[in-house]
Structure 1
């Protein structure tokens, strides 16, 4: 497979990455093909025997691998699940949370110590708490759910690195977290009131188990919070690289949402969107065999038709042209709220802490994993 592609003259926008044994997609047109072609899948085959019934018993907990498989497979109701959830995260619904996001971000920014690390002291707690509040989790559960989110984030990063063998201690911790998450899910379905929980109640009627809802909450915590932390760090580094920009944002002369959008277009939290060839096809202009890994280079696709703006003063393209949050059927469900959360966090920093200073050279964002990771974001 790799030998054949390595020896083939590839069309423009394709490159064979011999070091990682995968096909790289660099153009928007070919990225669209990959995201739409039915022969290229997310990596979990929903038609696989037993997948639709791979649910833990009500009094049992899923294995780590099984939990992550639940993210992609919601028994036979995957399509109605997606349809129902998209109603919860529309632009109109996201706009209804803006005042709450702004208030929570301002409170966090005002309470910051004189110096520290923004990722740890500001972005992580703000994105955690604002997401918990948005989905309707009682405030008393926020500390415990923070622990759940951190463990799920850690294990998901391990999955991205190919780690699937876990020790007894890690498995026991995961089982305890899963029992708590399932209990919280059942309590939310019985008592809580939010658009997300209302949709979750309708979704829970489609399946005999509420584990898919618990897995959905876990996915929302991972796929939403950690990329927002990275996005906030990327935006901060770029904003404070321009001596004039914090003041322009504070005065409202440039829009925080537009600036954050452009920062994440130039340097997206996810390096690649991965897909896997499930059946032989030639949709990209070359024969592709089953098992071929296809990696859409998010940054390359984002910048293919309009290069980076310098200094960063706003996004020059429409959000639909940006792959940072996915595209089409693979578009991030929480993109609308995530954009508003990152913008609120950035706006609160420049407004509540006008004397804030960030040394862009001291910011450390690790790119060894597909999901970038903030190692250091010092401020004073």
Structure 2
């Protein structure tokens, strides 16, 4: 075994292990995961770009126990390959291209500012507060809810649904966790079907309305494809963004000179966002399956073999990044793979960048003296890397 994804020491800081693996070879076989893992930037980029390695969805079994979870993924842009992927991306991009990021940008900055003020008030009342609770977790949910047009009264349901469903992507999930994920998926599917039906009757300026209406000639998204798209946006948009903000603020507070640098010069926000995505990747592993015999960095794959890009390892590759273990909010260029590469490059990347920048701007301008109140608690999961708590004071 090249690493133990359940080892608390590894989960705390996987990067020295990744560095050792990179020095030995760009690709390694991992017995317990049952797949090859690419650890160099070049090998990970090859995994993400190689058209002989695709996203091939295999239903969670027993199929009868996971109807909703499987429905979401059978109809997901992320889990499809051309020609279906080409069709889905064309339709979804057309809906996204109707100005949603520009429409939401000032609103996101306003909401982030209000949440930072709430964090400041909580700190003033109790000497410290959890940054995840007050800003990092609720902001992405509010943004996705506003994007989709979810009514305010229903928004508290989104985060628990997302948190439950994404547990299914970890290795070794116990049966009770899988049952909770399926229940959440079923509830979310039912909710989105009802919301899409309402928007078809009374369209708004939200993305669900645009996904209902989008056409390419006579082609349109099916009801299942629309639901799969909306759930993908919530899970990817929420989980990745909350963890970039959490991991990123922690990195800034532990590298105080970089926090102070951003406080002094908020014009560094665009490069700071990219550096925080690179420095402590919120998604550590992205899996592909060989559709035909191929090779990655000299590692041979037969059709059906699986291989994963370890994005956290790619992000610390000294062949690409000078002093990769150093946090540098002015780093440029910064060719991280945090949003993927190739045909599966994240369609929501522009919106995610706006959210992260808004959160950082609100914090450095309203709470310039922010610091850790005590050691944060990290989630005991490998694929999705994040924190359970981030106690801060000012």
- TM class, shorter-chain normalised? 0.7 to 0.9
Cα contact 1:275–1:293 (8 A) shared by 2: yes
The 3 A distance-change label for structure 1 pair 155 and 208 is closer
- Paired position in structure 1 for 2:253: 240
Q: What is the aligned counterpart of 2:101 among 91, 94, 103?
A: 94
- CA deviation string 1:320-378 (max 9, x = no partner): x210110121211111110110111111012122343225x712333633111322211
Cα contact 1:13–1:30 (8 A) shared by 2: yes
The 3 A distance-change label for structure 1 pair 367 and 356 is same
TM-superposed deviation, 1:27: 2.9
Matched, 1:278 2:285: no
Q: What is the aligned counterpart of 2:210 among 177, 198, 202?
A: 198
Cα contact 2:211–2:226 (8 A) shared by 1: no
TM-superposed deviation, 1:236: 0.5
Q: What is the aligned counterpart of 2:133 among 110, 116, 120?
A: 120
- Paired position in structure 1 for 2:51: 38
TM-superposed deviation, 1:40: 1.5
TM-superposed deviation, 1:75: 11
- Aligned 1:130-279 pairs, distance under 5 A: 130-143=143-156, 147-161=157-171, 163=173, 165=175, 174-190=185-201, 191-194=203-206, 197-202=209-214, 206=219, 209-252=222-265, 254-279=267-292
- Paired position in structure 2 for 1:85: 92
SS in 2 for 1:15: strand
SS in 1 for 2:289: strand
Matched, 1:310 2:326: yes
- Quick one: distance in 1 between partners of 2:358 and 2:39? 32
- Quick one: distance in 2 between partners of 1:157 and 1:168? 11
- Quick one: distance in 2 between partners of 1:269 and 1:173? 22
Coordinate RMSD, CA, aligned: 3.4
- Quick one: distance in 2 between partners of 1:171 and 1:84? 27
- CA deviation string 1:246-282 (max 9, x = no partner): 4432333552232131122021101122112233233
- Paired position in structure 2 for 1:4: none
How many residues in Structure 1 have an aligned counterpart in Structure 2? Answer: 353
TM-superposed deviation, 1:289: 2.0
SS in 2 for 1:296: strand
Gaps of 5+ in 1: 1-9, 47-53, 55-60
Deviates further, 337-346 or 238-247 = 238-247
TM-superposed deviation, 1:11: 9.7
Cα contact 2:167–2:181 (8 A) shared by 1: no
Cα contact 2:165–2:184 (8 A) shared by 1: no
Q: What is the aligned counterpart of 1:111 among 97, 109, 118?
A: 118
The 3 A distance-change label for structure 1 pair 173 and 348 is closer
Give TM-score scaled by structure 1 length: 0.80
The 3 A distance-change label for structure 1 pair 259 and 139 is same
The 3 A distance-change label for structure 1 pair 284 and 338 is same
- Paired position in structure 1 for 2:360: 346
